[in-house]
């Protein structure tokens, strides 16, 4: 008799171990999702980009200004989004574009961050629902890509923080 040999309990144990490892990997290490919508153009395509998230950054752990993060949308709890962090606790944020009718500023409260989309006119973000609690962050985007062809090493490219904190002298 060929095929997979072993006691039925051993097979169940291996199946359970595989499921437990998959659960651990996708809930606590890395996950992926599809980007859609125009709010993060040109960083992510409107439809089709696959984004890899590092789940070590859940709840805002080691998130910095300029990082793209996945988060639970506070006004739509069943939906998730991806936006760029432009302010961390204690930072001052200009609420409108420079030269707008209102130059209102906000200090990001403790335990929160301020997020916006790269395509401001098409983004629903902290300008609409206020500073985001760090507890709603699900992970940090570390790579993007599209699956095409048979070369997995060409499918994804790393995302880099495009904002700098250097102050010109």
pLDDT digits (tens, 9 = 90+) for 113-133: 999 999 988 999 998 899 999
Is residue 18 situated within a structural domain? no
Is residue 81 situated within a structural domain? yes
Is residue 115 situated within a structural domain? yes
Is residue 122 situated within a structural domain? yes
Is residue 119 situated within a structural domain? yes
User: What digits encode the pLDDT tens for the residues 131-155?
Assistant: 999 999 999 999 998 776 666 666 7
For residue 68, the domain's CATH number is 2.10.109.10
Q: How many distinct structural domains can be found in the chain? A: 1
Question: Is residue 32 a contact partner of residue 53, using CB atoms and an 8 Å limit?
Answer: yes
Please confirm, yes or no, whether 31 is among the known catalytic residues. Answer: no
Is residue 88 situated within a structural domain? yes
Q: Give the global pTM.
A: 0.78
Please confirm, yes or no, whether 140 is among the known catalytic residues. Answer: no
Which of 31, 76, 83, 162 is an active site residue? 83
Look up the domain containing 37 and give its range. 32-158
Which of 39, 123, 126, 138 is an active site residue? 39
């Amino acid at each position: 008799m060929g095929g997979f040999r072993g006691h039925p309990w051993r097979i169940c144990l291996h199946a359970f171990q595989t499921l437990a490892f998959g659960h651990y990997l996708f809930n606590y290490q890395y996950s992926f999702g599809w980007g859609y919508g125009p709010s993060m153009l040109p960083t992510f395509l409107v439809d089709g980009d696959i984004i890899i998230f590092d789940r070590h950054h859940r709840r805002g752990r080691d998130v910095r200004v300029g990082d793209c993060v996945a988060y639970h949308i506070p006004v739509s709890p069943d939906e998730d989004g991806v936006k760029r962090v432009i302010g961390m606790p204690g930072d001052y944020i200009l609420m409108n574009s420079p030269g707008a009718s209102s130059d209102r500023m906000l200090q990001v409260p403790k335990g929160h961050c301020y997020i916006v989309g790269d395509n401001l006119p098409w983004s629903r973000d902290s300008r609409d629902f206020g500073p985001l609690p760090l507890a709603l962050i699900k992970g940090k985007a570390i790579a993007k890509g599209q699956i095409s062809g048979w070369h997995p090493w060409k499918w994804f490219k790393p995302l880099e923080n495009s904002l700098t904190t250097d102050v010109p002298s």
